[in-house]
Structures are given as C-alpha cells and as structure tokens.
C-alpha cells in the first residue's frame, strides 16, 4: 500500500500545488492514500471548514496538524465532527478533536497517529512516548499498518521517537520545521523514517512566509505579523512510503519534490 505524505501545506500556494500535482502523481507513482499536515493551510495559520472541504475535494484522505491547528477559532466548531482531521494526541484531556484514527481505503485498514514533541514546544503537553504506548496498544489490535506524524522542533527528539517506535509502526515522519531532511531511511526493524517532510508553499520565503516580516522580527526583536508569501515558484515536498500489507513494514521510502 503506497502512502503519499505531504509536508506542511502553507496557505493558498500550498493548496494550489496539491491541485496541480496530486492527479499527476497518482498516474506517475500510483499512490493509494494521501496524508497531509494542514496546520498552516488556511492563510498560513490554522484550518477552516472551507479549506478542509477543499483539501478533501482534491484527494487528501487524512489530515494531521500541530500547534497551529487552533489559530483559526472556527476549527472548534467542526473538529469534533470530522474524524479525518487530527490534532496532536498528547494535548491534555478535554481538548476538542482526536489525535488518532483507524481508516480504510480499498479494503485495507490503516491507522494514523498525530503526536507533538515537547522539546522547544508547548510545555503542558503530555509525554508523546507514553501517549503513543497507549494508542498503539489499541490500534494495533485493528491493523498493523500504522503511521505517525511526529510534529516537533528538535531533530534529536524525532530520531529518538523513530527508534522507540521502530518495529511497532510502519512509518514515522516529522513535520513542523518546514525544511525537508535528507535522512529518509528504513530503520533496523522495518519502520520507515524521515525527520521532516518539508513544506508545500513558495520556496523563496521564510518557511512559507514573507521574508521581510520574518527578518524584521530577527533584526529588531519585535513581533511582526507574518503573512503567507504568495509570489514566486512553489515547492511541493512529500514522501512516498510503500508498506507491505501483510507485515506492516516499510518496503521503500522516497522523497518527492516538484516545482510549480
């Protein structure tokens, strides 16, 4: 079973890239399932119902997220109604939405788990390793095809989680930093891994945002409102993970990069 996993979608340019490339990549790569991190998909910050529907219409099967999922308050109105829009599972009890799910495509079940790291991130999160253990115990009863979006800042934390989950899950892929890493591997016990998938948005930017505003933040130590960069060439970053349906182990993992 082939999973096309798309890095953080940045605003309208990122959504435009999906519309352009998904049909072409379907023919070229023959993927079965599309996963995408959507926490920056609506205007660069958060998610709206309109954008959710737009992404479903272009073929995204399951959406993951991270710390920016709450930036558009509209999300609170519908996140409990849509099982295929996830927020990190290690938010404290009582937070709306769900952090994992078991889905089915072409007669095959698969699970997606969304977790967020703690290093340089929000300190009130529950331990992602411990939360994973509880979720794994549940979802592994239904399927051996399990993928984890580990949304985190520190590469070291992502790597440690990859090794921790090696042999239990099919793939661990990092999101959040928007910069693709060149460390796609199949770990020793059969788990596909990459530290960060990268972003889908305007490449000549401050990780998807207008550089001028981001640079002023760094120059003057003052908060500036960031806006999505909407001019210039768009990069589409993803990985293609081919998973053995019988064993749940990764057979191959490949970085995908296209420009629009």
Contact 54, 82 (CB under 8 A): no
Q: What is the mean pLDDT of each run of 10 residues along the chain (260 residues)?
A: 97 98 98 98 97 98 97 97 98 97 98 97 92 98 98 97 98 98 98 98 96 94 90 98 98 98
- The per-residue pLDDT for 122 is 78
CA–CA dist 158, 193 (Å, integer): 9
Query: Which member of 68, 151, 176, 178 is catalytic?
Result: 68
Tell me the C-alpha to C-alpha distance, in Å, between residue 149 and each of 7, 13, 106, 162, 209. Answer: 10, 22, 22, 11, 23
CATH topology of domain 2-259: Purple Acid Phosphatase; chain A, domain 2 (3.60.21)
The distance of Cα 255 from the centroid of its chain, to the nearest Å, equals 14
Decide if 68 is catalytic: yes
- The per-residue pLDDT for 133 is 98
Q: Domain map of the chain by residue range?
A: 2-259
- The per-residue pLDDT for 24 is 97
């Amino acid at each position: 079973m082939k999973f096309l996993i798309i890095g953080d979608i940045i605003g309208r340019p990122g959504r435009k890239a999906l519309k352009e490339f998904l049909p072409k990549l379907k023919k070229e790569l023959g993927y079965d399932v599309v996963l995408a991190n959507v926490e920056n998909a609506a205007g660069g910050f958060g998610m709206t119902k309109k954008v959710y529907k737009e992404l479903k219409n272009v073929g995204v099967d399951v959406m993951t997220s991270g710390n920016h999922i709450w930036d558009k308050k509209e999300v609170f109105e519908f996140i409990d109604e849509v099982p295929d829009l996830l927020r990190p599972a290690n938010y404290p009890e009582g937070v709306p939405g769900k952090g994992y799910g078991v889905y089915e495509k072409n007669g095959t079940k698969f699970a997606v788990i969304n977790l967020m790291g703690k290093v340089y991130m929000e300190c009130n999160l529950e331990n992602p390793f411990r939360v994973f253990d509880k979720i794994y115990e549940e979802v592994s009863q239904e399927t051996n095809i399990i993928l984890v979006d580990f949304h985190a800042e520190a590469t070291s934390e992502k790597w440690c989680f990859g090794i921790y989950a090696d042999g239990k899950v099919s793939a661990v892929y990092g999101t959040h930093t928007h910069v693709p890493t060149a460390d796609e591997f199949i770990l020793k016990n059969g788990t596909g891994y990459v530290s960060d998938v990268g972003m889908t948005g305007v490449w000549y930017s401050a990780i998807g945002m207008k550089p001028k505003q981001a640079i002023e933040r760094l120059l003057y130590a003052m908060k500036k409102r960031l806006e999505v960069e909407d001019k210039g060439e768009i990069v589409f970053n993803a990985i293609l993970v081919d998973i053995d349906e019988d064993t749940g182990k990764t057979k191959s993992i490949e970085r995908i990069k296209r420009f629009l």
